[in-house]
Structure 1
Amino acid sequence: MLEVNGLSVDYGSNRVVRNLDLKLNESEILMLVGPTGCGKTTVLQALAGLIPVTEGKIAQGGWISTPEKSVPPEKRNVGMVFQDFALFPHLTVEQNVQFRLKDNTLADHWLELLGLSDFRQAKPSRLSGGQKQRVALARTLAHEPSYVLLDEPLSNLDAALKDTLRWDIRDALKKAGVPAIWVTHDQDEALSVGDRVGILNKGVLEQLDTPEQCFEKPASKFVARFLGEASFLQGRIAGSNVETAIGSAPVYTANNAQELVELLVRPDDVIVSHSPEHANATVLRSRFEGGSRLLFAALDSGETVSARVSHELKVMPDQRVHLTLQSSHPLSALSQ
């Protein structure tokens, strides 16, 4: 188990990571997300021992690293997978994976499991981006790390390849039984791959929970908006429901819930219909997404909301529509 307590990192007089606490369980994959400059990569570098920490401690197995007594990277048994692959260009695939190994059994195992057996003698220059990333992962896992750190491993790949490779990497980590922290800027990747998700904002971990909890019960507006399209409607608590300008919906009970709240509404919670005589909103813009369209509309109440509809429903800007709040599951409300 990797355990981090009160971790803070300074760059000069600027604190870029503040009081980070987390525990990484055996074979768990933790996705770390946040906007550019929020401290994601800094956290990985600190956990790898590549940069000094200002406060706190990092513990794994038989070692504890603190600002006063830092454990060097080579003593941590950490594996790292980078976005630029970091392969030796003059070595073959096999030689890259076997680098500094005394027993090649595990190298052969991961070359086979990751579909690289036919490329053993190839140099990295002959490989596609996805194949290079598989080689980097095979090399990491062949060295039996105590934990793995992945720094945006799919950011240099095309969208179609990302969707396949993210699952290949997840499956390999699970089969190896090794815990991992995976940094990404892709919200879909974080929600679909991770056992838990951590959302960083200006060096502070705003929420650490399962993907479902972070999406459905965000700890803040920042978390809600970072993990997908989010609208907030003024609402009034009425029993187990919240009443809004476009209807009512069940709500999660909050310990500090006030009578007046801001209700988190996702695009799939809103129904759009052509009903000029009952119109209550004006379409601002429409975004085609292939199988669906994402509409942004201004309510007559003065609020704005997004809604997802079938791609067959063609709605133009300035068109009047009727919006209805419809959810079979409870929504999250934040106190005003």
Structure 2
Amino acid sequence: MNQASLECRHISLSYGATPVLRDVNLKIEPGEFFALLGPSGSGKSTLLRLIAGFNQHQSGELLIDGQDISGVPPHLRGVGMVFQNYALWPHMTVWDNVAFGLVERRESRDAIRRKVGAALELVGLQDYGQRRPGQLSGGQQQRVALARTVVIEPKLLLLDEPLSNLDKQLRVQMREELKNLQRQLGLTTIFVTHDQEEAMTTADRMAVLNQGVLQQVGTAAGLYDEPHNRFVAGFVGTANLLEGQVSALDGDTLVFDAQGLGRLTLPVPAEPPAPGAATLAFRPHQIRIAAEGEPADADRVWLQGRVEAAEFLGEFARYRVRVGEVALVADQPHYAGGAMFPPGAQVRLGLAPTQLRYLHR
């Protein structure tokens, strides 16, 4: 398989007066498994369809292996796409569905037989060639759609919400199969999803979009641990976000005036934030929740609060704790026999200063 690079340079697209993509700059490396992540209406599917050639940008350049393909029609781009609904021909057998692109290219019968057989074996459906799509499960239909796409040996593989039609257990299984297949082929793959877990467990890197603007690009751990802004912090995983002001930096001490919570005196981080308006971000699992009177870790900053709600989620318990005028979310690992804090309980929340992130707006 080819390993192509893709680059978007200052890509912008509008529908009438409505901007959908705004000055998108993005580079995807050869052989990379890359995710476009964002909420509905963020522009991620529009960007994927633009790469496929179904949409046309008004400004910017779209390059595959350094060549601008902006004016190249879809069937000449060397791009394969798997649609959300798989788009299989219901009246054709699995074999004929997979062979369709090769037949359209007028390849020889021997080449078609060899390539279709290899593609079906690749996705584990070598014994299903004479069945029709309606006789297959959702996961099997998706494999047929993948086989039909990879059989034409595209430079890029595009996946539009590939797992959204499957139940949760099958989604987990199929994302592992997708990842293994991509690694086996070494094929540059771009997939669209709104599911954070799907992107974080599958992609080498991902781009987060919101309202047509590229917010941040990086690995799952990089985006989770070091979000660039408030949107990324709140969208990639769960985060507590405190609005306020960095009002003073004095030696080893930083003062953060949090709206609705009050003044926090914190250690200065390795990269000190500039004074001014900021959002203080931290994850629920990074908070230690303790009962009144329980010994406190000296390396944490402690806040007094009251439990408003408690949820048992299996591997952990999630609490909503009122601290001043602010409700914070805190997670606590669950161990057999451990008691949960009931609503109304007075507790203390311990913040780990090394885990706090200051996001300027």
TM-score relative to the length of structure 1: 0.89
Question: Is the 1:249–1:326 contact (alpha carbons within 8 Å) kept by the matching residues of 2?
Answer: no
Q: Which aligned pairs between 1:286-301 and structure 2 lie closer than 5 A?
A: 286-299=310-323, 301=324
Unaligned runs of 5+ in 2: 257-262, 296-302
| Cα deviation code 1:53-82 (max 9, x no counterpart) | 11111111474234xxx1100110111011
Question: Structure 1 CA distance, aligned partners of 2:253 and 2:31?
Answer: 39
2:228 alignment counterpart: 219
Which deviates the most, 271-280 or 126-135? 271-280
Question: Structure 1 CA distance, aligned partners of 2:350 and 2:146?
Answer: 47
Deviation of 1:125 after TM superposition, in Å, equals: 0.5
Question: Structure 2 CA distance, aligned partners of 1:92 and 1:241?
Answer: 70
C-alpha distance 335-4 of structure 1, shift in aligned 2 (>3 A) = closer
1:269 alignment counterpart: 286
Matching residue's letter, 1:310:
P
State whether structure 2 residue 326 is matched by structure 1 residue 317. no
Question: Is the 1:246–1:323 contact (alpha carbons within 8 Å) kept by the matching residues of 2?
Answer: no
Deviation of 1:189 after TM superposition, in Å, equals: 0.9
Question: Is the 1:247–1:324 contact (alpha carbons within 8 Å) kept by the matching residues of 2?
Answer: no
Question: Structure 1 CA distance, aligned partners of 2:101 and 2:142?
Answer: 19
State whether structure 2 residue 47 is matched by structure 1 residue 43. yes
2:76 alignment counterpart: 75
TM-score relative to the length of structure 2: 0.83
Counterpart of 2:37 (choices 33, 36, 40) is 33
Matching residue's letter, 2:275:
Q
Question: Is the 1:252–1:333 contact (alpha carbons within 8 Å) kept by the matching residues of 2?
Answer: no
Question: Structure 2 CA distance, aligned partners of 1:124 and 1:78?
Answer: 23
C-alpha distance 240-89 of structure 1, shift in aligned 2 (>3 A) = farther
State whether structure 2 residue 212 is matched by structure 1 residue 203. yes
C-alpha distance 152-285 of structure 1, shift in aligned 2 (>3 A) = same
Deviation of 1:141 after TM superposition, in Å, equals: 1.1
C-alpha distance 260-34 of structure 1, shift in aligned 2 (>3 A) = closer
Question: Is the 2:196–2:236 contact (alpha carbons within 8 Å) kept by the matching residues of 1?
Answer: yes
Deviation of 1:319 after TM superposition, in Å, equals: 2.1
3-state SS of the aligned residue for 2:46? helix
Which deviates the most, 128-137 or 258-267? 258-267
Matching residue's letter, 2:215:
E
3-state SS of the aligned residue for 1:99? helix
Which deviates the most, 257-266 or 81-90? 257-266
Question: Structure 1 CA distance, aligned partners of 2:265 and 2:121?
Answer: 56
| Percentage of pairs with the same residue | 36
Question: Structure 1 CA distance, aligned partners of 2:89 and 2:267?
Answer: 57
Deviation of 1:118 after TM superposition, in Å, equals: 2.5
Deviation of 1:159 after TM superposition, in Å, equals: 0.6
Q: Which has the larger radius of gyration?
A: 2
Counterpart of 2:187 (choices 178, 183, 189) is 178
Matching residue's letter, 2:290:
S
CA RMSD of aligned residues (A): 2.5
2:162 alignment counterpart: 153
Question: Structure 2 CA distance, aligned partners of 1:281 and 1:99?
Answer: 63
Question: Structure 1 CA distance, aligned partners of 2:207 and 2:236?
Answer: 11
Unaligned runs of 5+ in 1: none
Deviation of 1:243 after TM superposition, in Å, equals: 7.0
Residue correspondences, number: 330
Question: Structure 2 CA distance, aligned partners of 1:169 and 1:241?
Answer: 48
Deviation of 1:111 after TM superposition, in Å, equals: 1.6
3-state SS of the aligned residue for 1:271? strand
Question: Is the 1:276–1:321 contact (alpha carbons within 8 Å) kept by the matching residues of 2?
Answer: no
C-alpha distance 34-238 of structure 1, shift in aligned 2 (>3 A) = farther
